[in-house]
Structure 1
């Protein structure tokens, strides 16, 4: 599958060229954003490009990024929640990852950046009244050329057996059973989905008629909602590509199993 290869080879970029996006590329980015915002899943969010990227960098340097090291890029895209609630955080990440997939198809490189919650002074200066509703931006541009023989940076991923379980949470399910049900390739691919600090805070439970997604219920659950939205997007695309056409349904976050909470269900 082409999409399977895309997920396994998708990389975040932290070093961008200083090259600005030209007018044709800006137009393509704007069109990609409009297409995503036209979809029903985007009803609770707004997405905007910021082409004065280095101004964003100067304002957020030391305040966002990896251990306070801001990712410097020629442009960024902001994700705004119209209302702060779990569904908007999940579908915001779902739709943003869909947009990212299209931007990578345009030849751009990307990097998710988590911002401090709330209306911090830096965010207010950049986003005004929207500041408290923006918790993520995505850096976009062109990656710096790598030096010859530089190895690819990699991060470990959990095995399918560590994230997928059988009818009763969280009891093992055989690889043969997943293969019989047409789910093995899907789970083998989505385990490469990116997550904050590569924590991979998800577990899936496969029952007769649905796949249930659980996420780790701890102090980082707000960030994990975004991680969940990303992996839900990849599951959705691969499931539809395999003929398993359904929709994710968000749960009420009241069903807990061990240290996890039930987040969403996908009918089979």
Structure 2
């Protein structure tokens, strides 16, 4: 799969045909995702398919969805993991990887947010441990008459509003990004989906690294999941361009926060080098 070509056409799908995705296609998607390197060294996560789409839709109505509206689909995919530092970032990274591969196979998907912790273990056929930390609808796109099934790419903030140089709120000239060879990969980063299309993340070029921050003053789980998604886009775009750059999740570091002049509302998530 050419990553850059895929994200240039990737869209969120809200309407699906009443036709289940074949089991072998789902197994292939899960196998690809489980084989990829995530953001955590240990692979404690599990991915499961929820086959009873209609029943799951009825149960989840009002408890999960896209902007509060549950999306009806023939099947759903859930990612389970143990809650620990980096779990939500890793789930965003991995589930978005699955979504991109699904799009490459001409399948539609839609991120679904869970308003409260939900026990989904009874809905999967294989035993699973951990907590459901990511959930998507999956199926064949229904593009019939009167359908508005595919969300067009929403407007995005310009790169100049997303990238700072050396410290918080200090704009980074485009020439600096081009000199460092970062303008293209960060451009693809800004195409990453986020809850409510808020683009909550910011990049800070500090010395030889790129730092990623998100605000945690609203919904921490969503913010960390969004961070994982944008990390996938940036890292894979770099790899597609022959740049061996990788993210490393960060532990709290007050001295680094001060060096970057971070406001209290922002949390350091990771560094890219």
Task: Report the TM-score, using the length of structure 1 for normalisation.
Answer: 0.87
Native 8 Å contact 1:78 1:138 kept in 2: yes
Corresponding position of 2:78: 78
Distance 1:149 1:217 in 2: 36
Residue 263 (structure 1) aligned with residue 269 (structure 2): yes
Structural mapping, 1:40-79, within 5 Å? 40-41=37-38, 43-79=43-79
Native 8 Å contact 2:215 2:223 kept in 1: yes
Unaligned 5+ segments in structure 2 are none
Corresponding position of 1:173: 172
More helix per residue: 1 or 2? 1
Q: Name the structure, 1 or 2, with higher relative contact order (CA <8 Å, separation 6+).
A: 2
Native 8 Å contact 2:92 2:134 kept in 1: no
Native 8 Å contact 1:80 1:133 kept in 2: yes
**Inter-CA distance 32–132: structure 2 relative to 1 (3 Å threshold):** closer
Q: How many residues get paired?
A: 260
Native 8 Å contact 2:15 2:147 kept in 1: no
Residue 37 (structure 1) aligned with residue 34 (structure 2): yes
Give SS of 2:33's match. Answer: helix
Structural mapping, 1:1-268, within 5 Å? 3-22=3-22, 26-41=23-38, 43-81=43-81, 83-119=82-118, 123=120, 126=123, 133-145=131-143, 147=145, 153-255=152-254, 256=257, 257-258=262-263, 259-267=265-273
**Inter-CA distance 99–136: structure 2 relative to 1 (3 Å threshold):** same
> CA shift at 1:79, angstroms?
0.9
Distance 1:142 1:31 in 2: 16
Q: Deviations over 1:26-52 (max 9, x none)?
A: 202202212321345361311111222
Q: Deviations over 1:196-240 (max 9, x none)?
A: 111111000113311110111213122110000000001010111
> CA shift at 1:131, angstroms?
8.9
Native 8 Å contact 1:112 1:139 kept in 2: yes
Native 8 Å contact 1:193 1:230 kept in 2: yes
Native 8 Å contact 2:95 2:134 kept in 1: no
Distance 2:250 2:5 in 1: 30
**Inter-CA distance 176–146: structure 2 relative to 1 (3 Å threshold):** farther
Native 8 Å contact 1:7 1:190 kept in 2: no
Give SS of 1:86's match. Answer: coil
Task: Report the TM-score, using the length of structure 2 for normalisation.
Answer: 0.86
> CA shift at 1:139, angstroms?
0.6
The Cα RMSD (Å) is: 2.5
**Inter-CA distance 146–200: structure 2 relative to 1 (3 Å threshold):** farther
Distance 1:210 1:115 in 2: 34
Native 8 Å contact 2:74 2:138 kept in 1: yes
Give SS of 1:54's match. Answer: helix
Unaligned 5+ segments in structure 1 are none
Q: Deviations over 1:119-167 (max 9, x none)?
A: 46xx465369969711321111012115489796442211101111112
